[in-house]
Amino acid sequence: MRKLIRWSIIFVLVSSVLGISAIAVTYLVLEPDLPDVETLHDVQLQVPLRVFSRDRKLMGIFGEKRRIPVSIEDMPACLKQAFIAGEDARFYEHPGVDYQGITRAVVSLAITGEKTIGGSTITQQLARNFFLTSEKTYTRKIKEIFLALKIERQLDKDEILELYLNKIFLGYRAYGVGAAAEVYYGKSSDQLSLAQCAMIAALPKAPSRINPITSPERALERRNYVLNRMLELGYINEARFELAVNEPDRAYYHGAIAEFSAPYVAEMVRVKAIQQLGLEAYTGGYEVITTIDSRLQTAANLAVAQGLEEYDQRHGFRGAEAHIDIADKVTTSDWLEALNPYQPVSGLEPGLVLEVEKELALVYLRNGQTVALSLEDMRWAAPFIDRDRKGAEPESVEDIMAPGDIIRARLHNDGNWRLGQLPEVEAALVSLDPQNGDIKALVGGYDFTRSKYNRITQGRRQPGSSFKPFIYSAALEKGFTVASLVNDAPIVFEDSELERTWKPQNFSEKFYGPTRLREAMVNSRNLVSIRLLRSIGIEYARGYISNFGFNRDELPANLSMALGSASLSPLSMATGYAVFANGGYLVTPQLIRTIIDMDGETVFETLPSIICDDCESESSEMAAEPVAEKTEPAFKPLDIATGNAELEVTSSDLGTDGFVNDAKFNYAMRAI
């Protein structure tokens, strides 16, 4: 017996020495290829670009990964406990590697021949997520163990847990618990219930296959397993467990949560951010503060949508978007399948007409509601004939629709649904502050999902009579007065530029003889505008009008310019009119005010030209230049070197404190 004990001790000692030697040799072989875990101290998580209004309301998020970093102090205790219970019960006890877990995994592998039990700790998962691939090889597993041990020596447990909970993939492009809470429940992480915390903690095992959206039953089983583990470990009592395990899960996909709608603006900002920051804009956690006023933007959205729909309805009802046979479609699943190709557009919900009577129609909407539309809710729907005519007002609902029709309905402020239709026409709106060029609101079309074409910047239309004030302004500069007389009489031109004989007329098709400029302007007299342009000279007018911010090459070199035949964007027209509004100063439209990085540092900002009554004594910002002295926009990225500039300073440029006054300072800033 003594001999057996002695040989057993020798065997254990030799095995231990050999094992330690093997581990040491393995470490020496692999160590040169192991990454430096010191980088975890300065890790930068990939956070998407976020776009805000000037009053800090979110309007858009751009990035491949949705991530909302949350500090460990701001995470609810039940969320942290749920992950520990589900992934690594001995997290606060082991040194990065749980030898008990590895032993269980090895025994299971030896018995079954399959890798049925995972032995990875939270620290190992962190090492794999940051430094390694997900390939299932023994070499990767050994590297993972060594890295976990190194990480535990560099970071404390809470730092490791914080990195893990912000890094881990949890399905639906959500990385980290902050993004997962928003994606699945539309909440911030500190608003989650115990059951919801457990559901999110259930996701790391197989986030793409087992989650509450794609496979709710399997996800519920995994959630209840996590809750059971929390009960066993003493994190929750029996009462909380029962309450949580019986809570129905109401997860569904929540898109990026914007506080107000401004998709055309957000897309413009995205393009500018990429130009300024490169592709890092998508991952660097930058915040862009725009000049948009969320209140005015909301009003602009409503004005465009309502205006287009009312205009469209005044021309009559063009009928159902489609018609299907509903004889064999008797369930809500059948109805939803029929409505699936039709998406909501600008609040107009697609619906399937189920039943029709003389005074009422029963409609199943794509959002799952069944609503009743009365004849009064569709009284406007006289049949469309052509752009100038429509039919008689309908006398019954049956005159308008039939069972199987696909129609549109809108919920109004009084709580009633009414018949609607998608407008065929389009419109756009831009609101510009004439004092500094800030864009306050911008709507590029009826609905961004229907058409991403931005009519404010990309669309070019003939402005027509709205261009005439620029012609009159040029005439006043040339020496005409508002009392000058110009003959409003017929005129015929043989113009090679126009390729035909041109006989312009007034809208009224009447002629009024000698007319003062102020009268001609108020009544938009075409013939006066043409004679005025011919009198001052086309080239002079083109040169003068370009001072309003227009490109000279865009202005026609013929008399049709007087009637607004140039093809101009709405933004350029708004810029030109801002000169009239502010007393004669050209301002440059601005959309981005500042760009802030993840650390809260400003990396880019614009310094707009500002018009003020007493800039020299009250403002340290740059005054706008008059139209006659047009300048380029004053952009000043913060990270460029200022360089040296020779500047002549006289006694009149000095203030009482001996330093240069604001006016000279502004001049110097512009020189820089």
Residues with catalytic annotation? Answer: 87, 465
Q: Is 263 helix (H, G, I), strand (E, B) or coil?
A: helix
Contact of 436 with 325, CB cutoff 8 Å: no
| DSSP label of 392 | P
Contact of 45 with 71, CB cutoff 8 Å: no
- Show the tokens assigned to 456: 């404010």
With 0-12 CB in 10 A as exposed, 13-18 as middle and 19+ as buried, what is 124? Answer: buried
Contact of 497 with 557, CB cutoff 8 Å: yes
Between the CA atoms of 190, 193, 197 and 202, what dihedral angle is there, to the nearest 10 degrees?
Answer: -160
Q: Is 142 helix (H, G, I), strand (E, B) or coil?
A: helix
Distance in angstroms (rounded) separating the CA atoms of residues 629 and 524: 29
Amino acid at 575: T
Helix axes 194-201, 77-87, angle to 10 degrees: 40
Amino acid at 643: G
- Show the tokens assigned to 249: 């899960």
Contact of 528 with 543, CB cutoff 8 Å: no
Which residue, among 249, 167, 247, has the nearest Cα to 211 in the 3D structure? 249
- Show the tokens assigned to 518: 């102020």
The strand pairing partners of 66, in sequence order, are 174
Amino acid at 632: E
With 0-12 CB in 10 A as exposed, 13-18 as middle and 19+ as buried, what is 47? Answer: buried
Query: Could you identify the residue written with the tokens 């990939």?
Result: 46
Contact of 393 with 382, CB cutoff 8 Å: yes
Distance in angstroms (rounded) separating the CA atoms of residues 124 and 141: 9
Sign of CA dihedral 107, 112, 115, 118: negative
Contact of 627 with 434, CB cutoff 8 Å: no
Sign of CA dihedral 396, 400, 406, 407: negative
Between the CA atoms of 329, 334, 338 and 341, what dihedral angle is there, to the nearest 10 degrees?
Answer: -170
Segments of 223-310 assigned E as strands = 287-290
Segments of 69-132 assigned E as strands = none
Distance in angstroms (rounded) separating the CA atoms of residues 420 and 317: 9
With 0-12 CB in 10 A as exposed, 13-18 as middle and 19+ as buried, what is 301? Answer: buried
Distance in angstroms (rounded) separating the CA atoms of residues 578 and 575: 5
The strand pairing partners of 345, in sequence order, are 348
Distance in angstroms (rounded) separating the CA atoms of residues 131 and 150: 12
